[in-house]
Chains A and B, each alone.
Chain A
Amino acid sequence: MAFVGAIDTIGSGFTAQQERLDIISENIVNMGTTRTENGEGPYRRKVVVFQAGNGTTTQFRDVLAGVSSRYAYRSRWGVTDKAGVRVAEVAEDPSDFKLKYDPNDPDANEDGYVEMPNVDLVKEITDGMAASQAFSANVTAFNLLKNVLSKGLEIGK
């Protein structure tokens, strides 16, 4: 019913922020990785791209009408694009690698510079703080939803 839609919306927020935190920790952990598995140079910083869903919220009347009418059932039940947010892609940051001068490093180029990942620790940590703030806002919304749903169950009792 209509209630399930809001749970999906807020749940999508949880998933999106968690994925963002996962990518941030991957960036931090790989700050010093000069060789990647495919052997093509240092680790490149990853970024999540969020995208809003196109869905509209369904009203209870529409859901009830959809179930009660056989022909309307398929066209009205649910929405094809859900409301909420999703991670559209995990993109790579195209900015230049940092150069560190160390001629003795096995990964150094002809000029003696080693290409280091384009990860800035301060930026990653502040992004992580923003992600966990967004996550707490979602948790607040979810608690309010639970409040409304449990009150709704008491109608007519």
Chain B
Amino acid sequence: MPGYLFSNSLLMLERAMDYQWTKFSVISDNIVNAETPNYKPKYVTFEEALSASIRSSVRNTDRKGASVRSAILRSQPIVHVAEEESMRMDDNGVNVTEQSTELTRTTYQMNYTMDAINNNLSLLRTLIRGQ
């Protein structure tokens, strides 16, 4: 497998870590600002943009691997601000329990991603050692 070291799977996992890490930071920011007046919660998008960009690059039939790779390289998590009206008098839009559950979900997503990275690396190690 000559291209394994530079395969798309490890790159995809690195991007997934980036996205999940940004999501974790943004949710923690929302939680600490749960009592700040006029604060609107932030959220991160990534998956839809990434899958759309991969789908369009797969349609390019020659050099498929390279175009999928550049689609992955180009993708970035984007932070948005939720603009909903708030019911509270201080105009704060954060729902702390919802944010805390999202934080727990993100933690487990990160754990799964790190497990997948470890599996990739140990496979690589097996290939290098030949046993």
Which chain A residues have a beta carbon within 8 Å of chain B's beta carbons?
A: 2, 5-6, 9-10, 12-13, 16-17, 20, 49-52, 56-57, 59-61, 83-85, 130-131, 133-134, 137-138, 140-141, 144-145, 147-148, 151-152, 154-156
Q: Do the beta carbons of B18 and A61 come within 8 Å of each other?
A: yes
Q: Do the beta carbons of A57 and B31 come within 8 Å of each other?
A: no
Q: Do the beta carbons of B79 and A57 come within 8 Å of each other?
A: yes
Q: Do the beta carbons of B21 and A2 come within 8 Å of each other?
A: yes
Asked whether A148 and B24 contact (CB < 8 A) given A57-B79, A83-B29, the answer is: yes
Roughly how many angstroms separate A155 CA and B31 CA in the complex, as a whole number?
28
Roughly how many angstroms separate A60 CA and B32 CA in the complex, as a whole number?
22
Residue of B nearest to A88 (CB): B36
Roughly how many angstroms separate A131 CA and B29 CA in the complex, as a whole number?
17
Roughly how many angstroms separate A144 CA and B35 CA in the complex, as a whole number?
21
User: With A50-B33, A140-B103 given, can you name 20 additional A-B contacts, CB distance below 8 Å?
Assistant: A2-B21, A6-B24, A9-B25, A9-B32, A10-B32, A13-B31, A52-B29, A52-B39, A57-B79, A61-B18, A83-B29, A85-B36, A134-B34, A137-B100, A141-B28, A141-B31, A144-B104, A145-B24, A155-B121, A156-B121
Which chain B residues have a beta carbon within 8 Å of chain A's beta carbons?
A: 17-18, 21-22, 24-29, 31-37, 39, 77, 79, 96, 100, 103-104, 107, 110-111, 114, 117-118, 121
Residue of A nearest to B37 (CB): A50
Asked whether A85 and B121 contact (CB < 8 A) given A6-B25, A10-B28, A59-B22, the answer is: no
Closest Cβ–Cβ distance, residue A76 to chain B (whole Å): 15
Roughly how many angstroms separate A50 CA and B35 CA in the complex, as a whole number?
8
Q: Which of A49, A144, A151 contacts B103 (CB 8 A)?
A: A144
Q: Which of A16, A17, A152 contacts B114 (CB 8 A)?
A: A152
Closest Cβ–Cβ distance, residue A19 to chain B (whole Å): 12
Roughly how many angstroms separate A85 CA and B30 CA in the complex, as a whole number?
9
Asked whether A141 and B25 contact (CB < 8 A) given A57-B79, A61-B18, A155-B114, the answer is: no
